Structure 1
Amino acid sequence: MRKTHYNQSHYLKLSLPVIGAALLLWACSSKELGHPATGATRTGKTEAIAAVAPPTKAEALLAMQCYNNAFYVQYGTYGPSYKAYYYSDVNHTGRMDFWRQAEAIETLIDAYTINNDADLKNKFVYLYNGMRDAYGLLWSSNSYNDDVIWGALMCIRAFQFTNDGGMKDMAKNNFDMVWARAWDTNLGGGLWWTTGKTSKNACVNAPAAICAVYLYQATGDAGYLTKAKMIQDWMVSKLYGSNGAVAGAMNAAGAITEGTRTYTQGTFIGACNLLNGYYPTAGYVTMGKNAMNYTKASMCNSAGLLPDEYDTDDCQGFKAIFARWACRFVHDQALQSTYADWLNYNAEEAWKYRNSNGLMWGQWWHRTSDTYVNSFETTCGVAMMNGVWVF
């Protein structure tokens, strides 16, 4: 992932005219309410959150369709199929970069998971074809191991719905390549962030643990499950705190160099959730709940709103990744009574402040700009709206 890293830091299918008319009405009824501070304000505590109804499932599908209307472009054939990509912003100044493209495709897979809409499935297949077309089958020229892992995770998730062997092979071959060049016994294990081997980061290790579990499920090769546990246990020993905070990185000298982020909290939670199914006595559910509690109490504002994370444009879509794995954890561990109100509130706030085109940026406390948004920040609300329908 070419991002700046930090020091401490169906049920409804609508035609375009109907979508436009509906959005106009909804946008007019969405008022910008007063807010004490930005969503990035951290208070160290969260007040009780009243139960709110999340956006409807039809609205969650509509949000995904609005996103596709703004950013999706199909640009040719790919064998007997088609290829596509997402633009980087509403001005269509170019395609999204590698890792953000993979995460936008994951957001589309999230929406398909909930809505079972054939058009969404076709689009994530065409977008996958676009990744193959643009970057090839093996991404060894990319020095960022986390980029490669995000791409592999997207591929194996797409495989779960298509049974396409090419998707499985891309996930497997790229994961294997990263494992071979990034795992070693320095610092007791863990995957290096880049081929430069300057730090071992949560942003590669946590999604790699998730990817490895899915590869085990897809291939039956128990070695992947072993690797998933090795990765996660290294994170627990080096980056996880008993209060639930997951540090972002450890440098080659063994010093923690990055603080918490929603996407690394989320992927750590996701790995805990998946591994618990195979190692139920390892304490992963407790660690996942601790990470959820820390995110809610120490990273949100006093109302429970997830932080903006707008320090660079590479941070702006982090909440989408948190939503994806946190909502799945709530479902799988039957924790609705503990976390549903909080997550529903975030989904409701995101949708409340959409713009006239139905797009939601990552600042869920005031109205989304009508003049400019990028396609990474606008994954956040879509992922959260569909995520709450997982549980």
Structure 2
Amino acid sequence: MNHGKEVDFVQNALIWNYWNESASIMNQWYPREANPPGENYYYWWQAHVIDVFIDGWSRTSDARYMERIEAIYDGILQSNGGTFLHHYYDDMEWLALALLRAYQTTRDEKYKQSVLELWADIQTAWSEQLGGGMAWNKGQLDYKNTPANAPAAILAARLHQCFGDKSDLDWALNIYRWNKDHLVDPATGFVWDGINRNGDMQIDYDWVFTYCQGVFIGAGVELYRCTNDWSFLEDAKRTAHACIERLCNPESLVLPNEGIDDTGLFKGILVRYLAELLRVAPEMNEVREVIKANAAILTKQGLDMENGLCGPSWDSRPSLPVQLSVQLSGVMLLEADELLRHMD
């Protein structure tokens, strides 16, 4: 298969295999029969569907991607009870990030208004418990983690870049500083998941996820773009190096199998923000090599050439059923690889 064709293949497979026409969202599983009745909807996964469709549109200008985004916007609203607001702050952050990109792509005011509504609610996550920081969910305000803080910093920084409100930059800086001070290893730059999950003030050092590295890298990149302060870029580079050293196979550079469900999305998120790092630091060849190595092994060994499906291990063929989260990570990887081809 020629370069560029693989990413079209997996993007098409995403639509063919997961699109639920009646609900205007993606099913959780392929094949359709694997979806338990009434259990096919995960709010934050749909946000990443929007993100990968914007990736597809940016690469091809194919109008069908925008048509799907229009449809899924309404589908999420319907499936979420007529509102985009949610119990989990990190979930809302992902939808706000995706809809902000949709607004920047289309200039459709409905996306902007939805982002601002989400951002106003997301701000209620901040409290002075644990010295500041964003809570993970509305029912546990004293549990704070990287998944709720780093994407919020990315969002606030991008809002500042888009609309110029200094208060958004202040939010981004405060959130980022809390995340760095509390959940980043000062010795290595490796990012820990959360603190006080069980009400014992303990950090979950044993929760080692690609996702946490990716979003902290992304926050550093966006704050560098906002401020031109090299310290943010150095933070991002340091975390990327620590991530590669600790999580990639030392010989093949393949990223780990993190399983299914929410963690099935984690590698794709890491790769998205590694690609963003390369936009501002193209000299980071180790990052480029990780993306290229994983994309090469996925297309050579891990891609189901009949159905366009990706598994949780990028170096081996998937077995049915395949979850949407896992497929999305594969799409993100191949979109990032294609982006690099145009950057090189």
1:188 maps to 2:131: yes
Larger Rg: 1
> Which residue number corresponds to residue 159 of structure 1?
103
1:273 maps to 2:243: no
> Which residue number corresponds to residue 380 of structure 1?
329
User: TM-score, normalization: structure 2?
Assistant: 0.89
Cα 1:299/1:327, change in 2 over 3 Å: same
Residue 326 of structure 2 aligns to a residue whose secondary structure is: coil
Residue 241 of structure 2 aligns to a residue whose secondary structure is: helix
> Which residue number corresponds to residue 51 of structure 1?
none
> Which residue number corresponds to residue 84 of structure 1?
24
CA shift for structure 1 position 121: 2.0
Residue 106 of structure 1 aligns to a residue whose secondary structure is: helix
Separation of aligned partners in 1, 2:280 and 2:29: 35
Separation of aligned partners in 2, 1:260 and 1:280: 30
> Which residue number corresponds to residue 163 of structure 2?
219
User: 5 Å matches for 1:361-372?
Assistant: 361-369=311-319, 371-372=320-321
User: 5 Å matches for 1:1-391?
Assistant: 56-75=3-22, 84-92=24-32, 93=35, 95-135=40-80, 138-140=83-85, 142-180=86-124, 182-195=125-138, 196-242=140-186, 243-251=188-196, 253-258=200-205, 259-281=207-229, 283-302=231-250, 303-310=252-259, 313-352=261-300, 353-355=302-304, 356-369=306-319, 371-391=320-340
Paired residues of 1:263 and 1:322 also in contact (CA < 8 A): yes
Separation of aligned partners in 1, 2:83 and 2:21: 23
Residue 24 of structure 2 aligns to a residue whose secondary structure is: strand
Residue 197 of structure 1 aligns to a residue whose secondary structure is: strand
CA shift for structure 1 position 86: 0.4
Paired residues of 2:156 and 2:171 also in contact (CA < 8 A): yes
Paired residues of 2:28 and 2:40 also in contact (CA < 8 A): yes
Paired residues of 1:107 and 1:320 also in contact (CA < 8 A): no
Residue 204 of structure 2 aligns to a residue whose secondary structure is: strand
Separation of aligned partners in 2, 1:225 and 1:136: 32
Separation of aligned partners in 1, 2:12 and 2:291: 22
CA shift for structure 1 position 139: 4.1
CA shift for structure 1 position 113: 2.3
**Structure 2 portions without partners, runs of 5+:** none
User: TM-score, normalization: structure 1?
Assistant: 0.79
Separation of aligned partners in 2, 1:115 and 1:244: 36
- Pick the structure with more helix per residue: 2
Residue 283 of structure 1 aligns to a residue whose secondary structure is: helix
